[in-house]
Structure 1
Amino acid sequence: MTSASPADAAIRPSAPNLVRSIQYLRGVAALAVVVFHAADRAGGSFGVGAAGVDVFFVISGFIMWVVTSGRPPHPGVFLLRRIERIVPLYWLVTLATAALAIAAPMAFPAMRPTLAHVGQSLLFIPHVAPDGLIAPLIVPGWTLSYEFFFYLIFAALLFAPLRLRAWLVSGCLLALVLARPLGDPSNALWATFTDPILLEFAAGVWLGWAWSNDRLPGPAVAGLLIAGGLGALAWTAVSGVDVAPARLLLWGAPAALLVTGCVAIERHLGVPAWPAMQRLGDASYSIYLVHGLAISAVVRLLRPLADLPPPVTFGASLVVGVASGLVVYAVVERPLSAWFSRSTPRVAPIAPRP
């Protein structure tokens, strides 16, 4: 499995008081996933790029905590905001993909958009696809099943006292993971909603608690956390270790170290404004959802050029994958977000401390 899901941007990207380190990490995580897929389609390998998903899950837990740790919204309002953020663009991309696959099946030979497959994909229900994998129609959507499940748990516990909420959220997620051996691993719902990767959301929640309560480590320790997280990820890349059996340890823990270090650095030292990185973070969800289709289109267009060097295919895939996401963000996602912002109330954004 692979992506950011970067569906966690509860902080408006254009807000002047946004947590910049989180925004930049969203962009880097999305870019890592694009590199992962571009390298794979060019015949290479950059497996550690898929760890961008783990970074996004930690970020999601962090943001859900900090935007509700003051005066929390009603659970229904909270979920409505999450739906506004995730569903419209995902549905548009999914339905457009299904229509293209039906209209031009030879162009999408791996896709079989049956009614059940499309319906369950739209509703974020984990299921076995026609190809035998547990995946929605557009593969990056697998992370959204985890995201929405986490949102449901988090929303249900918004009534709990703030002093207990982080414990209850992490306790629920841990209980599900511990129950995993008791169920059927071939059942898509059970396999998804007891996956240890859920604990990455809990790590983000506790990081949000540390941010809100000014309990983050100092700059020196933060630097060591960043170095440790990046070093651990690099080790998995060069060692060839099979990450799947211990993803939480090999990618989830380094992702948590990286995000914690970056947030702590911002808390104590601040982070400069980098417009290019901010824009990449703004568009990370769009990039995540559409880059796979864009890369597939590039590969098919270049296929007649059999002697084309793999680096050219990789470069073209990377550029088009990112560019397509930036365009979709500007043309579709941003206008949709603006419309929803005008139509429903918002949680006040958090302000980074200098």
Structure 2
Amino acid sequence: MPKAKTQQLHLIQLLRAVAILFVMLGHLNGLLYKRYAQDWFGMGEWGRTGGVDMFFVISGFMIAYLYKHKIGESGQAGIFLQKRITRIIPYYWLTTFGVLSVLLIFPYFGEQLSISYVIKSMFLLSDDPILTVAWSLTHIFFFYFMFTLLLFRPTIGRLAIAIYLTVIITSYFIDFFPENMLAATLLNVSNLTIWLGAFVAFFLSTSRVKVNSLIGGALTVIGIAGFLFLWTNNTIRFLNIEQGTIRPLLYGISSCFLVAGLASIDLYQKTRVNKLLDYIGKASFSIFLTHSLFLMLFIILLIENVKIQEVIGWDLTMIVILLLTTIGGLLAYQFVEKPLNKRLNSLLNRNKMHHHLAVPAKKIS
């Protein structure tokens, strides 16, 4: 692996853009299928397109890729966790308030919300939060907590991770699925998927086998084939692949091949990606969090009020909604997420500076 430990991975950014497209397609199809019996390729009944699973793998990979050389370094665990919380929670709260406002104004999209449900959603304690995609953040944060332990105490962290993943795999094979929400969340196969992405990063950085661009291309093809196989089976159903556990795991494994392949190409040769797609990749988290809000707004505006589907048909209507939702997410990234993160980082850096200045003064006195 090249010496540059934080080399920019353009193809992984591209994969982020692809992943968010899969997520939006799945959710738009689900909404239109449920309310208007409109669907693309039977996706309304798929239950999962693999986009979220791809995000899980990319998230695990990027965290391990960026922080693997900091494992065991003093002070890195606290800095890492603080950055992750600051990066996600404030923006998640803002987006949740946005969705909550739409649901209160347009109850067409949801039932009456209780205060306890709102509080649980805000703190990621609901298995069906107000912001639908937020269920995935629960798994992401549990990964962050375990990775923090790995940074803080590598030996203990590795042992804890090994035991934890063994428990997940064992529960998976003996068909043990607890009814308790916390236990079910901790044993969900999605947690394993995130760590698979991290293991890909660890493998690329430690393996003595040179995974060059040729091998990377082959791995990428295998990953694409995995997704095509699963999508075809979702539609034709020639194999009975369980939706809740096996399918997410297979999506995750296919995503691992994609990430390993594209990262290998990125690391061993100069790559360029279309600027728009690269920007969508950078804004993928913002699009991921806000797309439910924009989908609801544009469905209300274009389908319920303007009835654009009667003029241009359902296919073009779906394309228009996808484009507008993507634009909405990009605007949210540019004018909300980026300034918010810049402001929060500035405050954190200012507090650190004050802390460092205050410590010597206290010792001198």
TM-score category of the 2 structures, normalised to the smaller one: 0.7 to 0.9
Q: Distance in 2 between matches of 1:166 and 1:218?
A: 28
Counterpart amino acid of residue 310 in structure 2: D
Counterpart for residue 50 of structure 1: 49
Larger CA deviation: 252-261 vs 165-174: 165-174
Q: Distance in 2 between matches of 1:111 and 1:90?
A: 21
Counterpart for residue 99 of structure 2: 97
Contact 2:19 2:55 in 1 (8 A): yes
- How far does residue 166 in structure 1 lie from its aligned partner after superposition? 5.5
- Please give the residue correspondences for 1:227-266 in structure 2 after superposition, counting only pairs within 5 Å: 227-240=221-234, 241=237, 242=241, 243-266=243-266
Larger CA deviation: 175-184 vs 298-307: 175-184
Q: Structure 1 residues 268 and 171, CA, compared in 2 at 3 Å: closer, same or farther?
A: farther
3-state SS of the aligned residue for 2:8?
Answer: coil
- How far does residue 141 in structure 1 lie from its aligned partner after superposition? 0.6
- How far does residue 165 in structure 1 lie from its aligned partner after superposition? 5.5
Partner residue of 1:197 out of 190, 193, 199? 190
Q: Distance in 2 between matches of 1:48 and 1:220?
A: 34
- How far does residue 199 in structure 1 lie from its aligned partner after superposition? 1.2
Counterpart for residue 338 of structure 2: 334
Counterpart for residue 64 of structure 1: 63
Q: Structure 1 residues 116 and 182, CA, compared in 2 at 3 Å: closer, same or farther?
A: farther
Q: Structure 1 residues 343 and 19, CA, compared in 2 at 3 Å: closer, same or farther?
A: farther
Q: Distance in 2 between matches of 1:313 and 1:167?
A: 51
Q: Structure 1 residues 235 and 71, CA, compared in 2 at 3 Å: closer, same or farther?
A: closer
3-state SS of the aligned residue for 1:68?
Answer: helix
Contact 1:170 1:199 in 2 (8 A): no
Counterpart amino acid of residue 299 in structure 2: V
Q: Distance in 2 between matches of 1:202 and 1:285?
A: 19
Percent identity, aligned pairs only, is: 27
Q: Structure 1 residues 245 and 201, CA, compared in 2 at 3 Å: closer, same or farther?
A: closer
TM-score by length of 2: 0.79
Q: Distance in 2 between matches of 1:30 and 1:277?
A: 11
Q: Which runs of 5+ in 2 are unaligned?
A: 1-5, 33-37, 350-365
Counterpart for residue 224 of structure 1: 218
- How far does residue 122 in structure 1 lie from its aligned partner after superposition? 1.3
Q: Structure 1 residues 135 and 48, CA, compared in 2 at 3 Å: closer, same or farther?
A: closer
The structure that has the greater radius of gyration is 2
Contact 1:24 1:277 in 2 (8 A): yes
- How far does residue 292 in structure 1 lie from its aligned partner after superposition? 1.5
Q: Distance in 2 between matches of 1:295 and 1:277?
A: 20
- How far does residue 178 in structure 1 lie from its aligned partner after superposition? 2.6
Per-residue deviation, residues 38-61 of structure 1 (Å, max 9, x unmatched): 333441144497311111111111
Contact 2:220 2:262 in 1 (8 A): yes
Contact 1:124 1:148 in 2 (8 A): no
- How far does residue 161 in structure 1 lie from its aligned partner after superposition? 3.5
Partner residue of 1:307 out of 307, 310, 315? 310
Larger CA deviation: 140-149 vs 300-309: 300-309
Q: Structure 1 residues 275 and 234, CA, compared in 2 at 3 Å: closer, same or farther?
A: same
CA RMSD of aligned residues (A): 2.5
Counterpart for residue 157 of structure 1: 150
Q: Does residue 142 of structure 1 match 2:141?
A: no
- How far does residue 279 in structure 1 lie from its aligned partner after superposition? 0.7
Q: Distance in 2 between matches of 1:49 and 1:276?
A: 26
Q: Structure 1 residues 149 and 167, CA, compared in 2 at 3 Å: closer, same or farther?
A: same
TM-score by length of 1: 0.82
Q: Distance in 1 between matches of 2:49 and 2:338?
A: 25
Between Structure 1 and Structure 2, how many residues are aligned?
Answer: 320
3-state SS of the aligned residue for 1:244?
Answer: coil
- How far does residue 319 in structure 1 lie from its aligned partner after superposition? 0.9
Q: Distance in 2 between matches of 1:202 and 1:337?
A: 26
Q: Structure 1 residues 250 and 143, CA, compared in 2 at 3 Å: closer, same or farther?
A: same
Q: Structure 1 residues 335 and 183, CA, compared in 2 at 3 Å: closer, same or farther?
A: same
Q: Distance in 2 between matches of 1:279 and 1:49?
A: 25
Q: Structure 1 residues 105 and 152, CA, compared in 2 at 3 Å: closer, same or farther?
A: same
Per-residue deviation, residues 187-222 of structure 1 (Å, max 9, x unmatched): 221211101221112211111112333655222222
- Please give the residue correspondences for 1:73-88 in structure 2 after superposition, counting only pairs within 5 Å: 73-88=75-90
- How far does residue 170 in structure 1 lie from its aligned partner after superposition? 4.5
Counterpart for residue 320 of structure 2: 316
Q: Distance in 2 between matches of 1:182 and 1:38?
A: 32
Q: Distance in 2 between matches of 1:183 and 1:112?
A: 34
Q: Structure 1 residues 106 and 160, CA, compared in 2 at 3 Å: closer, same or farther?
A: closer
- Please give the residue correspondences for 1:279-294 in structure 2 after superposition, counting only pairs within 5 Å: 279-294=279-294
Counterpart amino acid of residue 338 in structure 2: R
